[in-house]
Structure 1
Amino acid sequence: MAPQQTGSRKRKAPAVDVGAASSSSQGSAAADGEGPPQPRKRRPEACRSLVHYLRGREVGARGPAGLPGFEGQLRGYAVRKLPELLAERELTLGTLNKVFASQWLNARQVVCGTKCNTLFVVDVQSSQITRIPLMRDRGPGLARAQPGCGIHAIELNPSKTLLATGGENPNSLAIYQLPTLDPLCLGDRHGHKDWIFAIAWISDTVVVSGSRDGTVALWQIDPDMVNGSIAWHNDAGLPVYGHICPRALETIPRASTNPNNRKVRDLAFSGKNDELGAVSLDGFFHLWKAGGSTLIRQMSFRLPQCRENVCLTYCDEPSLYAIGSQSHLSFLDLRQGLQNIRPLCSREGGTDVRSLSFYQHIVTLGTGDGCLLFYDIRAQKFLEERASASPGPPPGPVTRKLKLTCGRGWLSHDDLWMNYFGGIEEFPNAVYTHCYNWPEMKLFVAGGPLPSGLHGHYAGLWS
């Protein structure tokens, strides 16, 4: 049955330049076998130039086949050295409240979601903001925007042709087309009954969402929608989008110690193993086999650190799940059994882990007190900065953990701030989201004040 369509009273969002650079694969390998020897082609001079190679890496081009080892070493060196070279430039976002989610769209644009239920694209060079209209649920009796919830997740599919996030109703899953950010479809009915906290794509047309209601939903995007076989505008010129139902809806097991706290806080997909991991607020880790359009539960078990497990990422090369909690960064290796959980204390003055990302062998942590830390999985330690113990030549290098501290951001001086927080001028901004643009060597960092009642935000470009 074709998906039912509805019209939005909001006009189509302005097209946003979201073109992503694509790499082209060049060259072919000769097959081994009998036959007359083939003449050896001479490699162009430019391909042997290191300067040409590095410039090609900057624009996303693939290096020549003869440099795979060098490419890996170059990437690894850049990943280790980049954090200590980053410098901050704060961005102005007006009076928006707490940025919860972000993703790079291209070299200069980042799409963000906020606690005040605003979806927008910010140009990191000019600080110009373009707001994206949110999709509405079908039917007059369904819930609208709820205060104090907001957009908690934004994810792009592998080919960067679709974007998944929340709708005007935070219980609904909204799918937009890229690069135009036209509304495509909305998963509203028969889906989640509470706010969506996490989203993960498991293929270009299959996406999973996790909710506070303790459910994980799998959604299949109709290829006919993506190919544009549906008329997207009605006679009045208003945007029209389809409505979809989940293909599967899984309820996570209830913990006997806390049956009412099964809120799914984050999801991470392993393409290597076709597995979907999830952490819930009751301190459990859950694993599903994600094959095709089904979810098959594999296991659920309690984590050693069960307080505020709010972020999760999957590290491809070592096949580890990294979990951020109130006071620890933990690594989970399911190949070695359930007991192989390695907690690392990341607490510094009462901070907690609020966001995680992984690239190469470096895990980046965003903390509740406005700092960024970097953990090297291979070396099994946090990256360190070198500082001299005295103004003169030191007898030996003094090392300390590399920590980038975010700026002040913006804080609303409202009645709540004055009555409940005594007019304190500065609060550290929790790093609720961060995302890298590695070809451009940039890091977007955003968040806001940690106390739930305070209205404010932080956004910065580190480059």
Structure 2
Amino acid sequence: MGKMENIIGHLYNRDSKRPIPYNHRKQIIAKSRNCSYLTERCIEVPNTYNKIFASVWVDTDHVVVGTKCNRLLEINVQNGSKREIPLMRSPYPREVPDQTAGIHAIALNPSKSFMATGGQNVNDLALYSLPDYQPYAVGEFHQSWLFGISWINDFMLCTGARDGNVCLWTIFDVDGFSTYEEECGMYRKTPIEILRTEGIIRIRDTHYNPTCERLGTIGYGAGKYDAKVCFVDIRQPLQKRVITLPQKEENIVISGHDSSPLFAVGSLSHLMLIDDRDPNTTDITSVKILEPAQGIRSLSFQGDIITIGACKTSLMFYDVRNRKYVTDHDENPVKRKLKQGYVAENMDWHMHRYSFYPPSTSDVISIMTHCYDDSGLRLFAAGGPLPLELIGNYASIWE
């Protein structure tokens, strides 16, 4: 482990002198923004794209999304134009048991010079150089679906997958961990470190908090309800802290505060706030979500405001400082419900429509991903129908 620690420490320190350009204006804007005035502007996505799982702003006009049907799409939010980004494929393809998992994570490094996401093989990491989406590298190690991607700094990132492994990668050409393939003009990479998390055999999401320099991962142990969160000190990867979560069902998303050691985890019926300031104590606050128990699907912090994307087409906003949901002038919790969304009206749709759901199409749509632009004034939200067998999509700008 000594040699590996030297590599990690060298790469970490090499970039630590560069300031990470986190936009602190977001915190000021978030505190003054009245969420009740957000209005929806729908973006039409072709019916051939099924369920948008992941999204990221690449510049002021463009968002890149990843879908369940394993496709990458760039959307111009101003004029609605779209272009598909070819998925990366290793020059030595590996066998994958199920290609329908889709792209669950997309992330940019702090300087927005690289984009990380899934590859054509849903187990692989794909690295594109920006702004032209040129293939840079394929990362090969995970043996199951890639669920979480978190950049540590401009040159290092972590991935978490359903195989239970958390992997640390670097974009540098490091001997023994990178091979340049001239025929396809990109690197093949392997992790510089593999962080096996004790008690977690299925990783569902990851988030790196630059304030406390810890990586938070959520997942499950051997049992269906064995929900756990693990915090890893990136500077000392062997130091891990595993906490059993009080809310057991459908813990699939984690996010973190930009300027404090506070993490948020979304479950089927609760928002859980975890303060990782003191490793000797466990401070978890569970907040029941406003909607019926349909599940939190996406989370993000804007200063002290947490935006919650949930099932049944709801956006909700929780004020961490005041420990309550954001309310309007009448003191009613602010909930923003979408008006549109596409669901293929096939036989599965009609069975669900008459057996489980009200007749409104939008009532089966879930907000599976959302992200704010750099100004903090525009929110991109997207998703699709939650039931596995239903086909559809949704995308919009809230401003």
Corresponding position: 1:100 with 2:42:
no
Corresponding position: 1:163 with 2:115:
yes
Provide closer, same or farther for how the CA distance between residues 167 and 220 of structure 1 changes in structure 2, counting only shifts above 3 A: same
Q: CA–CA distance in 2 between the matches of 1:399 and 1:273?
A: 35
Equivalent pair of 2:219/2:228 in contact (CA under 8 Å): yes
Aligned-partner SS, 1:330: strand
Q: Unmatched 5+ residue regions in structure 2?
A: 1-18, 175-179, 221-225
Equivalent pair of 2:266/2:296 in contact (CA under 8 Å): yes
Structure whose CA Rg is larger: 1
* Structure 1 residue 253: Cα displacement: 1.5
Corresponding position: 1:277 with 2:216:
yes
Provide closer, same or farther for how the CA distance between residues 364 and 316 of structure 1 changes in structure 2, counting only shifts above 3 A: same
The residue type paired with residue 242 of structure 1 is Y
Q: CA–CA distance in 2 between the matches of 1:349 and 1:132?
A: 37
Equivalent pair of 1:107/1:440 in contact (CA under 8 Å): no
RMSD: 2.5
1:85-136 CA-partner distances (Å, limit 9, x unpaired)? 2211111111110000000011110001000000010011221111011111
Corresponding residue for residue 152 of structure 1? 104
Q: CA–CA distance in 1 between the matches of 2:82 and 2:192?
A: 35
Corresponding position: 1:380 with 2:316:
no
Q: CA–CA distance in 1 between the matches of 2:97 and 2:87?
A: 10
Corresponding residue for residue 109 of structure 1? 62
Moved over 6 A (4+): none
Corresponding residue for residue 241 of structure 1? 186
Aligned-partner SS, 2:317: strand
Equivalent pair of 2:264/2:271 in contact (CA under 8 Å): yes
1:335-387 CA-partner distances (Å, limit 9, x unpaired)? 2443311111114222321100012111111011111111111111110012x
Q: Unmatched 5+ residue regions in structure 1?
A: 1-24, 26-59, 63-70, 225-229, 256-261, 387-397
Among candidates 147, 153, 158, match of residue 197 of structure 1:
147
Corresponding residue for residue 134 of structure 2? 182
Corresponding residue for residue 372 of structure 2? 436
Equivalent pair of 2:29/2:376 in contact (CA under 8 Å): no
The residue type paired with residue 83 of structure 1 is C
Corresponding residue for residue 196 of structure 2? 251
Among candidates 326, 343, 367, match of residue 268 of structure 2:
326
Provide closer, same or farther for how the CA distance between residues 271 and 450 of structure 1 changes in structure 2, counting only shifts above 3 A: same
Equivalent pair of 1:82/1:441 in contact (CA under 8 Å): no
Q: CA–CA distance in 2 between the matches of 1:144 and 1:213?
A: 13
* Structure 1 residue 437: Cα displacement: 1.2
Corresponding residue for residue 347 of structure 2? 415
* Structure 1 residue 407: Cα displacement: 2.4
1:427-452 CA-partner distances (Å, limit 9, x unpaired)? 43111100011427211000001111
Corresponding residue for residue 253 of structure 2? 311
Corresponding residue for residue 287 of structure 1? 231
Corresponding residue for residue 298 of structure 2? 355
1:408-463 CA-partner distances (Å, limit 9, x unpaired)? 31111223324565595524311110001142721100000111110000100112
Corresponding residue for residue 39 of structure 2? 87
Within-5 A mapping of 1:2-21:
none
Corresponding residue for residue 300 of structure 1? 242
* Structure 1 residue 144: Cα displacement: 5.7
Q: CA–CA distance in 2 between the matches of 1:419 and 1:373?
A: 29
Provide closer, same or farther for how the CA distance between residues 167 and 83 of structure 1 changes in structure 2, counting only shifts above 3 A: same
Q: CA–CA distance in 2 between the matches of 1:324 and 1:164?
A: 23
Among candidates 152, 156, 165, match of residue 215 of structure 1:
165
Q: CA–CA distance in 1 between the matches of 2:142 and 2:70?
A: 17
Provide closer, same or farther for how the CA distance between residues 348 and 303 of structure 1 changes in structure 2, counting only shifts above 3 A: same
Corresponding position: 1:130 with 2:83:
yes
Corresponding position: 1:345 with 2:291:
no
Aligned-partner SS, 2:101: coil
Q: CA–CA distance in 1 between the matches of 2:27 and 2:147?
A: 32
Number of equivalenced pairs:
364
Provide closer, same or farther for how the CA distance between residues 348 and 146 of structure 1 changes in structure 2, counting only shifts above 3 A: same
Q: CA–CA distance in 1 between the matches of 2:282 and 2:208?
A: 21
What is the TM-score with the length of structure 2 in the denominator?
A: 0.85
Aligned-partner SS, 2:28: helix
